[in-house]
Structure 1
């Protein structure tokens, strides 16, 4: 890794927000300057290279999130009295269904969540009419402005979002995009910024570094012999030159995986003492597994879903526990992400009046058990509707009240069942005598 990816050193007092990999130091996102909230390019590249492309647990977690997130589709959802109604589609959804030539909704969502996971922000623009383009997040700067405090617009009380500047390192003039031209997906707000989001990787950077170091430790264990570390001592009469020759001979015959477990022959007063521990003595599985679980917690993905070691132990694989983990991922992580994605993409298309852009998860295989639960809920609702109609309420008001979960919407017909009539209040009419003409 060359110095191209290394940020210029800051004063020693500001090293609390840095992290180091392979001798290179990386820092957190830069502070807003003159109304511009911008990331540091090397921060995004460091997460891509040292987390997503180099760390197995991080890649596995992001892949689970990406695969499930990309399964959703978009629909419009009717809004009645500020309450959601049924889903429907129109040709206005075409840019989301085919965002670019050959692209699909799944391709768009995959890029969207990937950028948000790595940099905390996903950007999509409709700069080209009828087409969408995913913007690389570290080339996007958020522009804010203020009339009262031009010098510090991002901190002013009347600060507003003016737009986005897309500036690839090509040497050309950057593009300025209005807010209605950009879908900005920032599911985790960054508390240090007004509009920017924060990657879930940021709080667990040191966990990633530790997991990477543990993997390298395991690799070195096998490279250096796959046996405990030893100290070889020589008699005081052995000259340094003979010690070096013995070291070279021992390394050539016993160092590395290919020469592990061979019988070691010593002579000339040499003595071997074991000073290290093997992986079992270090409880290596538990050590690395605990770090994986903390990464999974930050990603909002239960360890049993992604297949981490701690998630595959004990009662975690019981049907009830796995179902609970699946529900946790769907309800606690994915549905909030889909909701935020729908809201961020809505400005890029023509949303019909009286409706909102929403996600459609009805065809996602991972959520089929949720569909069964929904069917059971509908069964309970249908019995409630039947009971209310039998009690004399208007059918239309009953359906509206049950859907909105607001029983103040019920309207009664004034008709009651026989059981509610007072005795004698409903005397039957006398029958006619058939013999009377």
Structure 2
């Protein structure tokens, strides 16, 4: 007799729906997979197509942009947002007007290395330069900045202070060509200059008419300390570019083509065009702060023929007073150990009472010695650079480097 197992039959009847459900779920999963695979494949093909198109556009754009000159490290920025230059203009904290900025006329820059003892002289110089046409920047080598605040133009000037540094030290660090790119001419003057007979606007008119890229006002020979005869004023002349010397060593005549006979100005009161200053700034050595020897080489920055583009303006002249500045001070003048004595009071005391000879400290002989050492270093660097640069062609081959004297 066949026995019927009721429990087994019940179990089989329950398992069939489960198997069907599993089959349906598996079918749905497979269907979804195939559908998603098909969609993914289409999307992948579209992405590949887009990438190919982007590569084509980038390559075309790259070829087009290869010739574009961009500022180093600005490649990550769109070109239109890159601001490569600046200036020394002060900006208001409010009421900013783009119209006023865009409509301003071109200005020039007057820079002077100053000490408080020459305050009156510098005041007279600055007053000769109208603020509508010139920006003023003072390099304070004695640390006395606040003592200038009583002058009516002081708050409009830029003040930079670093103790016992020369104007060339300041210029290398604060007159980068991209900072002063907006200024048509840069005056890099000493402080011991009398400007009674000097008109800067007329001076720049003459410089423009004569095509002078590097220039200086002539020195009144009767009142000035003249180091180089080429700087002496010629009374009936507007501008001169050369000097004649027929006696002694270093003769200069019509056949002379090199400094100091022609193509040369002194480092005391040079005036540079924007283009000439960009070149000269590169030539200033960061560690040679006296810049001796630089004067003989400035003609290379004359933007062409140094015999035409470098000159001395006779019609607008100055006086070189030859005052002791850097390296000459009163002993203990800056002695910070003196109790309850401010720097201003020390200056006041030094002006009202003449120091005795024992109180004077003159380091100028050491400064002069260092200047000669730096000149020799500069000469060697120039000669080495000429030998190492196989691509450089000297436009003044007949010119040989001669030692500068001051």
Alignment TM-score, normalising by the size of structure 2: 0.21
Q: Could you say which structure has the larger radius of gyration?
A: 2
Alignment TM-score, normalising by the size of structure 1: 0.20
